[in-house]
Structure 1
Amino acid sequence: MNYMRSIVVLMLCVILAIPTLSAQEFELNHDEHEASTEYVCPMHSHIVSDEPGTCPICGMDLEPRQRVQESDVKVSAQMQQNLGIRTTTAEVTTLWRYYPTIASVQWNDNARHHLHTRASGWIERLHVRSEGQQVEQGDPVYDIYSRELVVAQQDFLQALSSASANPRLLRDAKLRLELLGFAEPLIAQLEKSKEIIYRVPVFAPHSGVVTELNVAEGMYIEPGLAVMTLTGDDSYWLIADVPERYSDWLSAGAPVDVTLPQAGLNKHETTIDYIYPALDAQARTQRVRIKMPDSKVGTNLLVGMQAEVELYGGPKRDALTVPLSSLMITGTTNRVMVKTDDNSFVQRDVHVGLVVGDQAEILHGLEAGEQVVVAGQFLLDSEATLLNSRMQNPQSQEATDAHANH
C-alpha cells in the first residue's frame, strides 16, 4: 500500500514539473492585437472611416465593424527559401488601357426594314418562301387580292375618264393608290391599259436578306401585321461585351484591332462606333458596337462569326501597380501579403482598379515601395487568418491551450 502511494506522489511531481505555454506567452510571439471600431460603406468596401458618416460616393450611411490590427506572420529566411516565397515592389508606372475580348458579328439594325400591307386582303402568291432568302430591290415578294385596291383602281379609272373636267379628282385618286401600296409602275400600267389588276404584286423596297417571315401563301393579312423583315447585308455590326470596370475609359472613336481570319481580317484597324447606355443587369457588362468594313469589299462576313478584338483607351499615368498574381480574391474583398521586414508578413486589404495584362492598379491599401508576395502568399495568408481568428476568439484559444496542457 505504501508502495502504491509513493508511485502516485512521484507521478504528480513529474506532471507539475512540466513547463506550460500560457496564452500570454503565446501573444508575446506576435504583435499585440487591439480591437477597435471602424466604419465602412456597405456598397464600396474601400471607403473606411474612423468616425460615423456617409459614403462620399453613394451617400449611404457607413456601417460599424470591428477592426483587428494586422497580424505579423514570422517566417525565417531558411523557411522562406524552402517555401519558395518571392516578393516584388509595388511601383508607380503608366498603364496603357487595353482590353482583349471576343465580339460577334450581328445584323446592322439600321438596315432593317419591315414590310406591312396597307390594304387588307389575301396572299394569292408568295414569292419569298423562307427566312435567309436574298431579295433585291424591286423584286416581287408577294401578290395580294384586296377589295380596297380593286375599288381604288375603279375610282382612278373613273377619275381618269373625267380628268379634263376635274384634274384634282384624278390627282386624289392616284395619291390614294400610292398610299395603299400600289407601286408607281403599276399605276402607269393601269393608266395605259385601263384594265383592273386583281392580283396586285408587292415589290421589295430595299435589297437585303429576309430575317423574319410571318406569313404563308393563302393567308389573310391586315395592315397591323408585319409581313416580313428585310435586313441589308452590305454592312454588319460587331458587338462586344465589356466588363463594368472598364466602362470609365471606353469612348466612341477609340481605336480597335479586329482579327477574323474567316473574313480575311488580321489586325484590322477600326474604331468604336457606339457605346450602349445601359449595363446588362445579370452579366454586369456594357455592350460596345464596333465599325466593320463593307461586306461587299473584300470580306466574307457572316452573322454569328466571332472575332478577336483589342480595345485601346490611352494611357493612365501615375498608377500604383502590383502583379496580378499577387492578388488573393476572396469573393468580397481583394488582399495581398506585404513583407514588413526580413521575417515578417502581414495581410492587407486592397481596392483594385484597372487591370491590364498581368498588372493590376491598386487604388487603396498599399504604398509605393512596399514589398508584396507574388509566390507562396496563400500559405502566409492561411497562417495570418488563423492568427486573426485566435485573437478575435481569445476564450476559444485559452480553451485550446488548456486542453493541450492536459
Structure 2
Amino acid sequence: MKMHLTYLLSFCMIIFFLQACNQHHAGIGKMNNAYTCPMPSDSFFSDKPGKCPKCGMQLIPNPNNINQLSNNSINRSKKFTCPMHPQIVSDTMGNCPICSMPLEPLKPDSLKGTVSLNALLKPVNHQVVANVPMIHLMPRTENISLDVLGYVQYNTDYLYSIVSNVSGRIDKLYINSPFQKISVGSKVAEIYSPELVTAQQNLLQLLASDADNSSLIQMARQKLLLMGMSQRQLQYVEQTRTALLHVTLYSNYDGTVLLNDESMNVSDGKNSINNYNNTTDVLPIKEGMYVMKGTTLFKVFNPAKTWAILNLYDSDVPLVKKGDKVVFSAETNTQTAITSSVHLIEPYYNVTSKTTSLRVLFDNTQYKIPIGALVKATIYTGNRTAQWLPKEAVLTLGMNNVVFVRSGEVFMARKVKTGIVYKNLIQIIDGLSTHEAVAADAQYLVDSESFIQLKS
C-alpha cells in the first residue's frame, strides 16, 4: 500500500513540473518573439539570441517578424509604372516619358502567387510559365501622321499629243530639241502629202467646172479641213486657185514638248526618273522622214499641272484615304512647303518597290518644280480612337496574331484580331478585354523551336 502511494505521488510531481515548464516557455514567447527555436515542436521564443533550453539549438530570427517588416517596407516604398512601357518605374506618380500616359501603381512581387505542379506539367505549346512584365489594353486617341517619300510626275490629264493627220514626208521641222516650249498656234512641221495635193486639186476642179454644186464643194472643203489644213490655208487655195504642196502642222496646246516615248508615262518612280536622265538632245523625228496618217510626232505636257507621286508601305495604306491633307517640299526648294490633299490611291501594288503609290495634285505655276524632283511629304490622316497594344506584345504566326494572356499562374496563347499599325502601336479589334493582362513582349515567351497551338 505504501509503495502504491509513493508511485502516485511521484507521477503527480512529474506532471506538475512539465506544466510549469510549458507555462514558462509560453510566457517568454508572449513577452517577445523576436527569436525562436528552429525546431517547431519546441515552440520556444526569446527577445534576444541564445540557445533553446529544451534542445540546446541556437535560436534564429522569427520569420513572421521578417515578413511583417518586409510588408511594411513594401507599403512604404510604393512604386509606379507605365501600363504601355513596363520598363518605366518611378517612386512618384506622374506621366510616362515615352507615351505621356499616367503611371499606375506597381504590384509588389510578394503578391505574386506560386506556381503549382499541375501548371508546370501542362504542354508548353498551350501555355507558358514565366515571370515577365505585363500590360493591359489601353483606349487611346492617336493623331496619325505619316512621313513618306516621292517624286514629281507629269499629270497625264494635261498630257496632249501632236498627231499627223496625213501621210507624207516631213520637209520642215520647227521643233529643235526635247522640252522646247510651244504655245497654241506654234508651227510644228511642214509635210508634203500627195494625198493632200490630190484633194486640193479635186476642190479646184469642182470650183472651175461645177461651181453651182454647193454640196460637193462643201464636202471637198470639209475633207481638206479634216486632213489638217487650216481655215486660212483653205481660203488661200480657193482665192489663188493653186494647190499647196505642203501643209503646215500647228500646235493646239500650250506646254513643253516631250518625245513620243510611251515609257516616259509609266507611273513608276524608278523608271520615270531614269528616262528623264537618259533623255538626249537628239530628236527621233527628223526632216526627210515619212510619217503615216495618225502618227504621234510629239507629246506636250502642261508643267503647271503636275502630280506628286508618294510611295506608301503596305502597313500604312489602311491609314490613308482620299482627301487627307498632305504637306510636302521638293529637294530643289526645301524651304517652301506645299499644301494639298490626296487625289488618288492607285489600285495596284508595286512588287519592285514593295509600295503602293498615291497621287497628290498641285499647281506648279508658282513653284516651278522640275519633273522627277524628289519630295518629302507628311500625310495627316486625322485622329483614331482605338484599343492599342505595343507591337512587341503581339506575335505574328502566319495568318494569325497571338498575345499571351495571364491566366492564373501561367500565360495562355490567344488569337486576336488586329487593325491598323501606327509607329510602335497596333490596334486590337477583338479577342481581348481591357481587364485582361498580357505579356509586354511576346517574343520572350517563344523559343526558336516552339510551335504555338491555339485552342479553338
Q: Which moved more, 1:259-268 or 1:283-292?
A: 259-268
CA contact (8 A) 1:347 1:381 kept: no
CA contact (8 A) 2:393 2:403 kept: yes
Rate the CA distance shift 1:33–1:189 in 2: closer, same or farther, 3 A: farther
User: Which residue of 2 is the match for residue 295 of structure 1?
Assistant: 364
Secondary structure class of the residue paired with 2:379:
strand
User: Which residue of 1 is the match for residue 128 of structure 2?
Assistant: 71
Deviation at 1:288, TM superposition (A): 2.0
CA contact (8 A) 1:257 1:270 kept: yes
Q: Report the structure number with the largest CA radius of gyration.
A: 2
Deviation at 1:216, TM superposition (A): 2.5
Report 1:6-405 matches (<5 A). Answer: 28=117, 31-34=120-123, 68-73=125-130, 75=131, 88-161=135-208, 165-213=212-260, 215-248=285-318, 250-260=320-330, 262-263=332-333, 266-280=336-350, 285-292=355-362, 294-296=363-365, 298-317=366-385, 319-327=386-394, 334-335=401-402, 350-372=416-438, 378-382=443-447, 388=450
Secondary structure class of the residue paired with 1:195:
coil
Counterpart Cα distance in 1 of 2:332 and 2:134: 44
**Counterpart of 1:136 in structure 2: which amino acid?**
S
**Counterpart of 1:291 in structure 2: which amino acid?**
L
Deviation at 1:240, TM superposition (A): 2.2
Unaligned 5+ residue runs, structure 1?
1-26, 36-67, 76-84, 392-406
What TM-score does the superposition give when structure 2 sets the normalisation length? 0.59
**Counterpart of 2:126 in structure 1: which amino acid?**
Q
Sequence identity of aligned pairs in percent? 23
Rate the CA distance shift 1:266–1:338 in 2: closer, same or farther, 3 A: farther
**Counterpart of 1:186 in structure 2: which amino acid?**
Q
Secondary structure class of the residue paired with 1:256:
strand
Q: How many residues align?
A: 317
CA contact (8 A) 1:253 1:272 kept: yes
Deviation at 1:110, TM superposition (A): 1.0
Deviation at 1:203, TM superposition (A): 1.0
CA contact (8 A) 2:331 2:373 kept: no
Rate the CA distance shift 1:262–1:28 in 2: closer, same or farther, 3 A: same
**Counterpart of 1:314 in structure 2: which amino acid?**
G
User: Over residues 162-213 of structure 1, what are the superposed CA-to-partner deviations in whole Å (9 max), with x where a residue is unaligned?
Assistant: 6852333332222111100112232233334443321322111112222224
Deviation at 1:270, TM superposition (A): 1.6
Deviation at 1:339, TM superposition (A): 5.9
User: Over residues 297-323 of structure 1, what are the superposed CA-to-partner deviations in whole Å (9 max), with x where a residue is unaligned?
Assistant: x21211112222233333333x21022
CA contact (8 A) 1:121 1:147 kept: yes
CA contact (8 A) 1:96 1:356 kept: no
**Counterpart of 2:224 in structure 1: which amino acid?**
L
Secondary structure class of the residue paired with 1:104:
strand
CA contact (8 A) 1:120 1:223 kept: yes
Counterpart Cα distance in 2 of 1:163 and 1:311: 70
Unaligned 5+ residue runs, structure 2?
1-115, 261-283
Counterpart Cα distance in 2 of 1:266 and 1:288: 21
User: Which residue of 2 is the match for residue 49 of structure 1?
Assistant: none
Counterpart Cα distance in 1 of 2:190 and 2:397: 65
The structure with more strand, counted as a fraction of residues: 1
Counterpart Cα distance in 2 of 1:232 and 1:147: 34
CA contact (8 A) 1:264 1:300 kept: no
Rate the CA distance shift 1:316–1:165 in 2: closer, same or farther, 3 A: same
User: Over residues 83-130 of structure 1, what are the superposed CA-to-partner deviations in whole Å (9 max), with x where a residue is unaligned?
Assistant: xx7554321223445433222211010112222222111111222244
Secondary structure class of the residue paired with 1:151:
helix
Deviation at 1:361, TM superposition (A): 0.9
What TM-score does the superposition give when structure 1 sets the normalisation length? 0.66
Rate the CA distance shift 1:390–1:192 in 2: closer, same or farther, 3 A: closer
